[in-house]
Copies of this chain bind each other. A is one copy, B any other.
Amino acid sequence: MLTALGAMQLAILEAKKGWGHVSPNPPVGCVILDKSGNFLAKGHHRKFGGDHAEIDALKEVREPKLLDGATLFVTLEPCAHHGKTPPCAEALAKLPLSKVVYGLVDPNPLVAGKGLEILKSAGKIVQSIASLVGESSASVNDDLEDLAEVFLFNQRERKTFASVKVATTLDGNMAHVSGESQWLTSEEARDHAQYLRGLHDAVIIGAGTFRHDNPRLNVRHAKFENKKNHVIVVNTSGSCLEKIEDSALYQSHEPRRIIVAAGESNASVLKNKSSDVEIWLLPERDGLIDLSSVLKKAYASGLMSVFVEGGARLISQFIEHNHAHRLYQFIAPQILGRRSGRAFTESVTSLTFAARVTMKRPVWTPMGPDVLLSGRF
């Protein structure tokens, strides 16, 4: 027997299997318990365009009569609209299930509450997990929000979710003042950074990183074979377009979008346009591209999440202007010294001690000799 909390936690774990594969959909997981509360099936949304989690779980149930009196747990309200697949709420309404327990209400106005209504009209008991678990409700809600944070942010803000990734020393430096930075962190940490890159739709770098590191920025992780990830180079002047066809980024011939975000005052750069490179001309602020406009444009062009990988200047700007939504900081047990390093917060200021930034729901994970902090801004 599983408790309601246990079933929902299992559904959350299931959902995470879809991370990085289902965008622009949210990751969703589902667990079905039979009428006695015993485990019957689990499933998740595996990839964009594929079965939703509920259908994936139902396929595991051999005999429909096992569903008599069963309870279905799903991390997000079942959908009510005809998208790539038929609406799940209608499919569930026809089954002999007696109860549906959901995690979050869908923030998408096309669906919000409608799936629940269809199920109630069909005579199902419909309950939120928060209403069932008493004291644990805050914690399970946090887990559900974290699970679907990209989707929830997209729906609420109509902007792309930005995760900042940095590897630093104990004293907050990303690199030596000479520019050298390879490698601060261990293989374990760098492998996990590849996994995190795979979770996102696109990588963002600044022009300095493009020129200095000439990175490929493809996804090199076993969980994301053949995943194409897109790349945005933020470069107010647009000057990197001149050399882009010689870059490792371009020459890796990955089937992906390569985007240069340039300032609209530099429209003349269009004349250098390579047919394979998208150019976004965006508003500027104080002579630099307004990062908010990058996130709006990225959202409009179908990129739901971006992984901001450097350098110090761009990362610092994302934090300074409150456009970073999650921080992944790998910390190596090393010291460079304040005077010798480039900090990931070089342009960030707190007018007072109280005005400092505190990450929400921080999670620390030791990784080889290093540690990973993950937290929400």
Closest to A173 in B: B172
Closest to A329 in B: B170
The answer to the question of A362 belonging to the interface, with a C-beta cut-off of 8 Å to chain B, is yes
B352 touches A180 (CB 8 A): yes
How far, in angstroms, from A344 to B335 measured CA to CA in the complex? Answer: 10
Closest to A324 in B: B335
B172 touches A350 (CB 8 A): no
9 residue pairs, one from A and one from B, having the closest CB atoms: A337-B348, A171-B172, A172-B172, A333-B362, A180-B353, A176-B353, A333-B359, A335-B357, A338-B343
When all copies of this chain in the complex are counted, the total is 2
How far, in angstroms, from A181 to B352 measured CA to CA in the complex? Answer: 10
Query: A348: which B residues are within 8 A, CB to CB?
Result: 171, 335-340
Contact of A371 among B173, B335, B371 (CB under 8 A): B371
Contact of A353 among B171, B178, B344, B364 (CB under 8 A): B178
Contact of A337 among B180, B338, B349 (CB under 8 A): B349
B371 touches A350 (CB 8 A): no
Interface residues of A in 322-368 (CB under 8 A from B): 327, 329, 331-341, 343-353, 356-359, 362, 364, 366
The answer to the question of A369 belonging to the interface, with a C-beta cut-off of 8 Å to chain B, is yes
A356 touches B344 (CB 8 A): no
Query: A375: which B residues are within 8 A, CB to CB?
Result: 333
B-contact bits for A160-180, CB 8 A (1 contact / 0 none): 000000001111110110101
Query: A176: which B residues are within 8 A, CB to CB?
Result: 350, 352-353, 356
Query: A180: which B residues are within 8 A, CB to CB?
Result: 352-353
Could you list 23 A-B pairs, sorted by A, with CB under 8 Å?
A168-B171, A169-B172, A170-B329, A170-B359, A170-B373, A171-B172, A172-B172, A172-B343, A176-B353, A181-B353, A319-B335, A331-B331, A331-B373, A333-B362, A335-B350, A335-B357, A338-B346, A339-B346, A339-B348, A339-B349, A341-B350, A371-B371, A371-B373
Knowing A345-B338, A350-B340, A353-B176, the reply to whether A333 touches B373 (Cβ < 8 A) is yes
A334 touches B356 (CB 8 A): yes
19 more A-B residue pairs beyond the given contacts A170-B373, A331-B373, A333-B359, with a C-beta to C-beta distance below 8 A? A168-B171, A169-B356, A170-B359, A172-B338, A172-B343, A180-B352, A333-B362, A333-B373, A334-B358, A336-B356, A338-B343, A338-B346, A338-B348, A339-B349, A340-B349, A362-B369, A364-B364, A364-B366, A371-B371
A345 touches B171 (CB 8 A): yes
Number of A residues with CB within 8 Å of any CB on chain B: 48
CB distance from A310 to the nearest CB of B (A): 15
A345 touches B356 (CB 8 A): no
Query: A327: which B residues are within 8 A, CB to CB?
Result: 170
How far, in angstroms, from A362 to B189 measured CA to CA in the complex? Answer: 15
CB distance from A367 to the nearest CB of B (A): 9
How far, in angstroms, from A254 to B364 measured CA to CA in the complex? Answer: 38
How far, in angstroms, from A357 to B170 measured CA to CA in the complex? Answer: 10
How far, in angstroms, from A312 to B115 measured CA to CA in the complex? Answer: 58
Query: A350: which B residues are within 8 A, CB to CB?
Result: 176, 335-337, 340-341
CB distance from A326 to the nearest CB of B (A): 12
Closest to A345 in B: B171
Query: A336: which B residues are within 8 A, CB to CB?
Result: 345, 348, 350, 353, 356-357
